[in-house]
């Protein structure tokens, strides 16, 4: 399964969340519009699935292990019914409708996720350096965990987290003592209380009302909003979206796509995912790579996408370009992109040893988007198809 690591300021916060089986990010009050970091946080929530593991990071140390669980139909919800509206709420007016009432700042905790120990949250944290040293090649996203409330990482990195935490806590596994070597947990009662309020469908985590506040005349205000909409619709198995992009077992965004260097200079893929060979998890059969532009895409954006394709080929597919499905998504495309797609968007490569096979990869699609009818609509663009979404 995938994993998440949440950044906390104190052990007191960890004790609170572990005891109740609830986590909620403080997002900051919006001032009439959703900002990039708001949209990015919503995008991180929408791909959460029951079974994903969670960990907590406090002052260089990592604590775990938990597992997201479904309460009602899902493992994540809006914390109150009007959480999609980008303005500040008064606590006194909202407090009776909060699923998770932590304090007066809970009006800024727009989303919650629900979890249980898996098997325990150990009281002994592990230094970040020890975690990174335990299996250096597996840790990609952890190296970029900087100025973020939380990050998501793939199955391989998640397994590396579990391995090092379990190895360092073998004594606690053999003899767990609540309050001593494992944190006290009693989240079932909190989950039951939350479940009792979920008849109100306004708590369901639906990204589309958020996008309605991020759009004008069919155009989304930020690339991050486009990432949010696409991730949400793929996670919800929206038929029209899946028909264009495919069905994926793992989805994420802003995924590292360059050698390790200062975080501010790292390249990040707007969209990344993979699917397992049906019935043979964890063997991966396909990779998804996407570059998203809210306005017109130019030649430089096509070249950037191909840089990501080469990265995924080297780091994940190990020379097999045939595993990669690439998409450049934009409001429109200039003529240079349409003219050069076949030339720039292809790779000749040799696959296999005995026999070696020479072949050509050209699995790149240009996708035009618009925000119409309360959702993001997509359509593939081919040379000359310039009348998409016409009224």
pLDDT above 50: residue 391: no
Q: Decide if 141 contacts 157 (C-beta within 8 A).
A: yes
What are the tokens at 86? 């980008």
Peptide bond into 134 cis (omega under 30): no
Average of per-residue pLDDT values in the chain: 94
Q: What is the mean pLDDT of residues 319-332?
A: 97
Distance CA 234, CA 380 (A): 16
Which of 26, 391, 41, 78 lies closest to 228 in space, CA to CA? Answer: 41
Partners of 160 in beta bridges: none
- Strand 347-351 relative to strand 357-361: parallel, antiparallel, unpaired? antiparallel
- pTM recorded for the entire structure: 0.94
| Backbone torsion region of residue 98, taken as left when φ is above 0, otherwise alpha when ψ lies between -120 and 50, otherwise beta | beta
The dihedrals phi and psi of 334, each to the nearest 5 degrees, come to: -75, 165
- In the chain, % helix, strand, coil (3-state, to 5) comes to 35, 25, 40
Q: What is the mean pLDDT of residues 81-108?
A: 95
- Label residue 386 by pLDDT band (50, 70, 90): low
CA contacts within 13 A on the Cβ side of 174: 5
Q: What is the mean pLDDT of residues 129-137?
A: 94
What are the tokens at 156? 């391989």
Distance CA 297, CA 284 (A): 30
Peptide bond into 161 cis (omega under 30): no
Q: Is the model more confident about 318 or about 262? A: 318
Peptide bond into 119 cis (omega under 30): yes
CB atoms within 10 A of CB 162: 16
Q: What is the pLDDT of residue 389?
A: 58
């Amino acid at each position: 399964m995938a994993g998440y690591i949440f950044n906390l300021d104190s052990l007191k916060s960890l004790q609170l969340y572990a005891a109740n089986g609830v986590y909620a990010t403080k997002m900051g009050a919006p001032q009439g519009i959703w900002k990039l970091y708001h949209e990015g946080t919503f995008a991180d929530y929408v791909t959460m699935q029951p079974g994903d593991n969670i960990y907590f990071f406090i002052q260089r140390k990592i604590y775990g292990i938990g597992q997201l669980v479904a309460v009602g139909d899902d493992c994540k919800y809006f914390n109150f019914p009007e959480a999609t509206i980008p303005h500040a709420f008064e606590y006194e007016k909202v407090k009776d409708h909060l699923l998770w009432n932590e304090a007066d700042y809970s009006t800024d905790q727009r989303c919650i996720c629900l979890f249980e120990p898996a098997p325990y949250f150990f009281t002994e944290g592990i230094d970040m350096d020890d975690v990174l040293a335990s299996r250096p090649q597996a840790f990609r996203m952890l190296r970029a965990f900087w100025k973020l409330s939380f990050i998501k990482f793939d199955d391989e990195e998640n397994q590396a987290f579990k391995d090092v935490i379990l190895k360092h806590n073998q004594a606690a596994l053999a003899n767990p003592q609540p309050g001593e070597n494992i944190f006290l947990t009693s989240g079932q009662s909190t989950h039951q209380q939350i479940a009792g309020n979920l008849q109100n469908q306004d708590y369901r985590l639906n990204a589309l009302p958020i996008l309605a506040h991020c759009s004008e005349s069919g155009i989304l205000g930020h690339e991050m909003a486009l990432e949010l909409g696409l991730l949400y619709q793929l996670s919800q198995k929206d038929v029209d979206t899946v028909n264009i992009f495919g069905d994926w077992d793992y989805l994420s965004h802003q995924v590292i796509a360059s050698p390790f260097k200062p975080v501010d200079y790292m390249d990040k893929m707007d969209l990344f995912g993979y699917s397992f060979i049906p019935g043979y998890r964890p063997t991966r059969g396909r990779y998804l790579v996407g570059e998203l532009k809210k306005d017109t895409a130019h030649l430089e954006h096509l070249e950037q996408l191909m840089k990501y394709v080469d990265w995924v080929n080297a780091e994940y597919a190990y020379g097999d370009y045939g595993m990669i499905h690439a998409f450049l998504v934009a409001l429109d495309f200039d003529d240079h992109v349409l003219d050069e797609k076949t030339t720039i968007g292809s790779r000749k490569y040799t696959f296999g040893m005995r026999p070696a096979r020479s072949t050509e990869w050209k699995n790149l699609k240009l996708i035009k988007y618009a925000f119409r009818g309360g959702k993001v609509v997509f359509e593939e663009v081919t040379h000359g198809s310039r009348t998409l979404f016409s009224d």
